[in-house]
């Protein structure tokens, strides 16, 4: 595949940045890829494993002359990182990010942007419970969605170029506005993560009573919860603080439904339980019949047609 950007800078060398590096290298999408990490230990690891063509000791050095700068840090520090690197950005370059929340990141980053920089927020819907520079792999984005959230007035050529990069890394790209993104992700990712954290916490409390039975007899569903609950605490703390409104909205609805199910169990209301489970089974069957049981959901678009 042809080169999309001459020079790319990755800021924060964790799971997503390292996966982007290997994916760009796989298809020759960038001429030179520089990288910056805050800790000397991460920079040493990156140099040791050949992550980035050039690992820089300062953000300014990594960003200098870059045509594309990608912020791959936790969402809580996007603004501070943008403020630090803004003076070093080349006029005409594109600044993007990979954060799991969009409206808050836009609010944090926008005030620091110099004239002539194209800011195009993004979010690959692909990840694992692992983090750090050694955790990335080239295939992470293959056949997964990457959502771009261009703010009004962004140059279409700059968006098209970033789209080409993500497509070159294997992703399917869609554009979406920030508020809609944050609500959709609160439903599909953020609240489910919170539920997994809670369930593993509950089981851990119980383990003190029942010894190791919870782990010993755990079925697939619970094992998935423990995998998700092993995700990076800093990243997920920031996601909930940053997507506060949408998460609280979905969590409110979730607890209302949960209380209704709790009441049905207490009252022995089998009809309520049966009707509810029949409805959820139909949803799953509908997904399969529509051929949408893939990593690339269409967020209800086909239903609107
Ligand atoms: N892990 C996942 O499954 C996914 C994560 N994301 C988003 O991607 C971003 C990065 O996540 P990962 O790569 O998973 O995290 P990670 O924990 O693997 O890497 C984050 C990197 O940022 C660095 N960092 C933290 N604070 C910093 C600061 N103040 N200045 C400079 N560097 C700093 C860390 O040292 C680390 O190298 C986050 O915003 C996350 O929400 C998006 C999709 C999936
Ligand atoms: O590992 C999992 O199950 C995930 O859900 C990965 C993930 C985590 C955070 C994102 O913003 C996008 C994808």
Q: Counting atoms of ligand 2 from 1, which one is nearest the CA of 231?
A: 1
Was domain 5-176 assigned CATH 3.30.70.260?
no
- The preferred substitution site among 11, 15, 79, 189 for testing ligand 1, maximizing ligand atoms within 8 Å of CB, is 15
| CATH architecture classification, 180-268 | Orthogonal Bundle (1.10)
Question: Do 127 and 11 meet the contact criterion of CB atoms below 8 Å apart?
Answer: no
HSE-CB for 201 with a 13 A CA cutoff: 6
Mean pLDDT, range 279-302, rounded to an integer: 70
Nearest CA to ligand 1 atom 29: 77
Provide the residue ranges of all domains of the chain, joining segments of one domain with +: 5-176, 180-268
Confidence of residue 297 (pLDDT cuts 50, 70, 90): very low
pLDDT at 302 > cutoff 50 = no
Tell me the residue length of the chain: 305
Spatial distance between the Cα atoms of 172 and 220, rounded to a whole number of angstroms:
29
Fold match between domain 5-176 and domain 180-268: no
> Could you tell me the sign of the dihedral formed by the alpha carbons of 134, 138, 144, 150, in that order?
positive
User: pLDDT tens digits, residue range 189-234?
Assistant: 999 999 999 998 888 887 765 666 766 777 778 888 989 999 999 9
pLDDT tens-digit map of 18-38: 999 999 999 999 999 999 999
Dihedral of CA 179/183/188/189: which sign? positive
- Residue 299: is its pLDDT beyond 80? no
Ligand nearest to the Cα of 224, by number: 2
| Mean pLDDT, the chain, integer | 92
Closest ligand to the CA of 19? 1
Q: Is the CB of 125 under 6 A from ligand 2?
A: yes
* Nearest ligand by distance to the CA of 131: 1
Per-residue pLDDT of 169-183, as tens digits, reads 999 999 999 999 999
Which residue's structure tokens are 């409110």?
252
């Amino acid at each position: 595949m042809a080169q999309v950007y001459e020079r790319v800078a990755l800021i924060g060398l964790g799971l997503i940045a390292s996966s982007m590096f290997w994916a760009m290298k796989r298809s020759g999408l960038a001429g030179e890829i520089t990288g910056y990490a805050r800790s000397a230990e991460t920079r040493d690891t990156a140099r040791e494993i050949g992550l980035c063509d050039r690992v820089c000791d300062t953000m300014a050095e990594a960003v200098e002359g870059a045509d594309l700068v990608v912020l791959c840090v936790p969402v809580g520090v996007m603004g501070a990182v943008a403020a630090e690197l803004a003076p070093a950005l080349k006029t005409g370059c594109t600044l993007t990010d990979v954060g799991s929340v969009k409206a808050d990141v836009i609010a944090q980053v926008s005030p620091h942007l110099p004239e002539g920089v194209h800011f195009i927020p993004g979010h690959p819907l692909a990840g694992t419970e692992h983090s750090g520079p050694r955790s990335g792999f080239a295939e992470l984005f293959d056949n997964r969605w990457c959502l771009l959230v261009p703010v009004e007035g962004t140059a279409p050529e700059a968006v098209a170029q970033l789209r080409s990069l993500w497509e070159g890394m294997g992703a399917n790209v869609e554009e979406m506005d920030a508020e809609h993104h944050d609500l959709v992700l609160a439903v599909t990712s953020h609240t489910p993560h919170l539920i997994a954290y809670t369930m593993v916490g509950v089981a851990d409390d119980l383990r003190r009573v029942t010894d190791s039975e919870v782990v010993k007899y755990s079925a697939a569903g619970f094992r998935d919860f423990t995998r998700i609950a092993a995700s990076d605490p800093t990243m997920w703390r920031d996601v909930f603080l940053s997507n506060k409104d949408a998460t609280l909205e979905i969590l409110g609805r979730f607890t209302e439904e949960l209380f209704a199910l709790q009441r049905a169990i207490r009252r022995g209301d089998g009809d309520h339980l049966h009707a509810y489970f029949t409805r959820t089974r139909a949803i799953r069957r509908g997904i399969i019949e529509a051929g949408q049981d893939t990593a690339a959901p269409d967020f209800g678009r086909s239903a609107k047609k």
